[in-house]
């Protein structure tokens, strides 16, 4: 089924600005749906007739559609008022009896206009009620009808007002307060009254300015959002949080206008105390984790520096080489912790780690080579180019450390045993499909022939691949000369 964007982009009768207006409407029309307790269907004119391009179900009542109506086409020959309304006819503004999927319902058609032009038709359809409406439903229905009148005149959705973020956004079911043009409370739903009572506002609210009621309980030492007074008075279509006594209310104001004059507002209210508390805990946890990674990185760099100093004091070449290898491995682990500092999650962008592992492997592998682009220390040094092909993407921190060590060990072996005398190119080729990752570490040197790789670095790489990563490590003869080490693992999925 095509998306709303596809429907609108394919409609040549709508300009880009008009299409954006309809997108803005669909992004915020759950407010109208919840107030009216009705399904909303958006119809636009197409080549074949009127097309249903978007649908919204109410969160406060029953739906009349079991199947999504998006994609239905009404031709001009069919008995319906929608094509005539799309052509500019005036609506009846009264609900009419309809039938949806074998059930009786009522439908109200409202033209969606902007700058005097009909862009679409909004159908508000709700199941037929068996009994009388409660006072709460009557008030909410009237508020919804006021928004429909604004929709018809081009005043809703409110121009310039941002679409509210989903996280913690209040909806009609959370609580509704109706204000007049002066910000005085005219009616509040039971859920809204409960939220304000928990917040610290006692007694009746009707007949009193909402800003006055809230000012008495606001924490004087807590920072207050600059938009809060405008929201409490219903003067701006905005969202704001209000905090007092350890509780937090999320407020959203939607002003009512008639012929460009503000006549009141509806305030949606939600108690988000627990949500904000958890958000603060996550922020604190994230800051703590970053600090831990920072300290671990610094400590590992200190250990690497001490190993480097100790290796310079060694008189034995074997001892000096062993300390240098230990220094390189510690530095590789430090790279992973430094990468974790850059992101907001416990995941590592491993392609950046590979770049640094390659530089580290070439620089620390042998005194007989130098990295391409780096200064040559002696005239006898050969040059090694590094190349990275493909992408690994993000992986879990628990897998990044052993994988980084494996890549560094294999890259170091490739330089020391394949390129230290002839120079050449060291290539890391990565291919990832879902959780399956294959990394090839290749060199175009002399090759190892039939010899089997040995040594401490090889044993470390095999142990890490098989033990911690649950994969395989094999060596192949590279076509055209050289050696290729193949790491084949299945990664754990990232937890979002």
DSSP assignment of 186-227, as one string? EEE-HHHHHHHHHHT--S--TTSBHHHHHHTTS-TTS---TT
Confidence bin at 380 (pLDDT 50/70/90): low
Average pLDDT, the chain: 82
Q: What is the average per-residue pLDDT within 472-489?
A: 87
Closest listed residue to residue 260, CA positions, set 158, 186, 155: 155
Q: Which residues pair with 416 in a beta bridge?
A: none
Q: What is the average per-residue pLDDT within 359-377?
A: 66
Q: In this predicted structure, which of 56-60, 105-109, 179-183, 415-419 has the lowest mean pLDDT? A: 415-419
Ranked by mean pLDDT, the top range of 111-120, 349-358, 369-378, 438-447 is 111-120
Q: What is the average per-residue pLDDT within 411-424?
A: 79
Confidence bin at 59 (pLDDT 50/70/90): very high
Residues 389, 430 contacting (CB under 8 angstroms): yes
As given in the structure block, the two tokens for residue 237 are 């279509």
pLDDT at 151: 93
Tell me, rounded to whole angstroms, the distance of Cα 295 from its chain centroid.
Answer: 29
Return the CATH number of the domain spanning residue range 276-490: 3.30.565.10
pLDDT at 176: 95
**What's 14's DSSP letter?**
S
Percent of the chain residues topping a pLDDT of 90: 24
Q: In this predicted structure, which of 145-154, 257-266, 325-334, 348-357 has the lowest mean pLDDT? A: 325-334
Q: In this predicted structure, which of 76-90, 268-282, 314-328, 430-444 has the lowest mean pLDDT? A: 314-328
pLDDT at 496: 43
Residue 145 has pLDDT above 90, yes or no: yes
Q: What is the average per-residue pLDDT within 283-298?
A: 63
Which overall architecture, per CATH, does domain 4-153 show? 2-Layer Sandwich (3.30)
Q: What is the average per-residue pLDDT within 406-423?
A: 80
Closest listed residue to residue 414, CA positions, set 467, 356, 463, 478: 478
pLDDT digits (tens, 9 = 90+) for 180-217: 999 999 999 999 999 888 888 888 889 999 888 888 77
The CATH 3.30.450.280 domain(s) of the chain lie at 4-153
Residue 56 has pLDDT above 90, yes or no: yes
Q: Is the pTM of this model over 0.85?
A: no
Handedness of CA 196, 199, 204, 209 (dihedral sign): negative
Confidence bin at 336 (pLDDT 50/70/90): low
Ranked by mean pLDDT, the top range of 217-221, 336-340, 438-442 is 438-442
pLDDT: is 102 or 32 the higher one?
A: 32
Distance from C-alpha of 312 to C-alpha of 72, rounded to nearest angstrom: 79
Confidence bin at 223 (pLDDT 50/70/90): low
The CATH 3.30.565.10 domain(s) of the chain lie at 276-490
Q: What is the average per-residue pLDDT within 262-268?
A: 94
Residue 187 CB neighbour total at 10 angstroms: 19
34-70 per-residue burial string, b: 16 or more CB within 10 A, e: under 16? bbbbbbbbbbbbbeebbbbbbbbbbebbebbeeeebb
**What's 184's DSSP letter?**
B
Inter-helix orientation angle 317-342/456-463, to 10°: 30
Tell me, rounded to whole angstroms, the distance of Cα 161 from its chain centroid.
Answer: 21
DSSP string covering 244-267, please?
ETTEEEEEEEEEEEETTEEEEEEE
Q: What is the average per-residue pLDDT within 446-450?
A: 69
Q: ω into residue 419 within 30 of 0, thus cis?
A: no
Closest listed residue to residue 51, CA positions, set 101, 7, 107: 7
Residue 317 CB neighbour total at 10 angstroms: 8
Which overall architecture, per CATH, does domain 176-271 show? 2-Layer Sandwich (3.30)
pLDDT at 398: 79
Residue 285 has pLDDT above 70, yes or no: no
Q: In this predicted structure, which of 122-131, 257-266, 324-333 has the lowest mean pLDDT? A: 324-333
3-30 per-residue burial string, b: 16 or more CB within 10 A, e: under 16? ebeebbeebeebeeebbebbbbbbebbb
pLDDT digits (tens, 9 = 90+) for 159-173: 877 655 556 689 999
pLDDT at 180: 94
pLDDT at 37: 94
Q: What is the average per-residue pLDDT within 423-434?
A: 87
Distance from C-alpha of 408 to C-alpha of 118, rounded to nearest angstrom: 65
pLDDT: is 94 or 415 the higher one?
A: 94
Q: What angle do CA 113, 114, 115 make, to 5 degrees?
A: 125
Residue 466 has pLDDT above 50, yes or no: yes
Residue 294 has pLDDT above 70, yes or no: no
pLDDT: is 398 or 136 the higher one?
A: 136
Closest listed residue to residue 4, CA positions, set 43, 33, 39, 34: 43
Residue 403 has pLDDT above 90, yes or no: no
Distance from C-alpha of 62 to C-alpha of 82, rounded to nearest angstrom: 24
Q: What angle do CA 164, 168, 171 make, to 5 degrees?
A: 70
pLDDT at 30: 93
pLDDT at 409: 81
pLDDT: is 307 or 107 the higher one?
A: 107
Residues 388, 399 contacting (CB under 8 angstroms): no
The CATH 3.30.450.20 domain(s) of the chain lie at 176-271
CA-to-CA separations, 27 to 180, 222, 234, 441, in angstroms, rounded: 26, 33, 21, 49
Confidence bin at 253 (pLDDT 50/70/90): very high
pLDDT: is 120 or 407 the higher one?
A: 120
């Amino acid at each position: 089924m095509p998306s709303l964007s596809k429907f609108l982009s394919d409609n040549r009768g709508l300009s880009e600005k008009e299409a954006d207006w309809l997108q803005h409407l669909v992004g915020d029309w759950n407010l109208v749906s919840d107030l009216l307790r009705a399904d909303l269907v958006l119809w636009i004119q197409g080549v074949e007739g009127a097309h249903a391009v978007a649908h919204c179900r109410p969160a406060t009542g029953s739906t009349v559609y079991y199947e999504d109506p998006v994609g239905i086409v009404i031709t001009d020959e069919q008995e319906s008022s929608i094509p005539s309304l799309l052509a500019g006819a005036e609506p009846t503004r009264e609900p009419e009896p309809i039938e949806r999927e074998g059930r009786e319902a009522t439908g109200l058609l409202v033209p969606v206009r902007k700058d005097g032009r009909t862009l679409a038709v909004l159908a508000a359809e709700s199941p037929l009620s068996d009994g009388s409406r409660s006072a709460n439903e009557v008030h909410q229905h009237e508020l919804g009808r006021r928004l429909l009148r604004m929709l018809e005149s081009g005043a809703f959705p409110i121009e310039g007002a941002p679409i509210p973020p989903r996280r913690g956004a209040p909806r009609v079911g959370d609580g509704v307060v109706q204000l007049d043009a002066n910000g005085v409370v005219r009616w509040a739903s039971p859920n809204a009254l409960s939220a304000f009572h928990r917040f610290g506002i006692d007694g009746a609210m009707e007949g009193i300015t909402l800003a006055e009621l809230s000012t008495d309980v606001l924490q004087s030492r807590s920072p207050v959002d600059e938009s809060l007074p405008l929201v409490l008075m219903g003067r701006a279509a905005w969202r704001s949080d209000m905090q007092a006594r350890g509780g937090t209310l999320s407020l959203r104001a939607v002003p009512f206008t008639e012929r460009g004059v503000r006549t009141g507002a509806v305030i949606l209210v939600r108690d988000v105390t627990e949500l904000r508390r958890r958000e603060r805990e996550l922020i604190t946890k994230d800051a703590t984790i970053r600090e831990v990674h920072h300290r671990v990185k610094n400590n590992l760099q200190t250990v690497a520096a001490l190993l480097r100093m100790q290796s310079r004091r060694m008189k034995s070449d074997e001892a000096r080489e062993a300390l240098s290898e230990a220094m390189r491995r510690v530095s590789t682990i430090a790279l992973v912790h430094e990468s974790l500092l850059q992101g907001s999650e416990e995941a590592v962008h491993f392609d950046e780690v590979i770049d640094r592992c390659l530089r580290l492997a070439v620089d620390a592998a042998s005194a007989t080579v130098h990295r391409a682009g780096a200064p040559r220390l002696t005239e006898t040094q050969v040059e090694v180019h590094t190349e990275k092909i493909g992408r690994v993407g993000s992986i879990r921190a628990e897998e990044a450390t052993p994988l980084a060590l494996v890549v560094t060990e294999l890259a170091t072996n490739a330089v020391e045993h394949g390129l230290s005398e002839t120079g050449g190119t060291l290539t890391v080729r990565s291919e990832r499909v879902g959780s399956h990752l294959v990394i090839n570490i290749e060199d175009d040197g002399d090759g190892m022939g039939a010899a089997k790789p040995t040594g401490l670095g090889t044993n470390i790489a095999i142990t890490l691949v098989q033990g911690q990563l649950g994969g395989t490590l094999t060596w192949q003869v590279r076509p055209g000369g050289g050696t290729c080490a193949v790491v084949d693992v299945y990664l754990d999925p990232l937890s979002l």
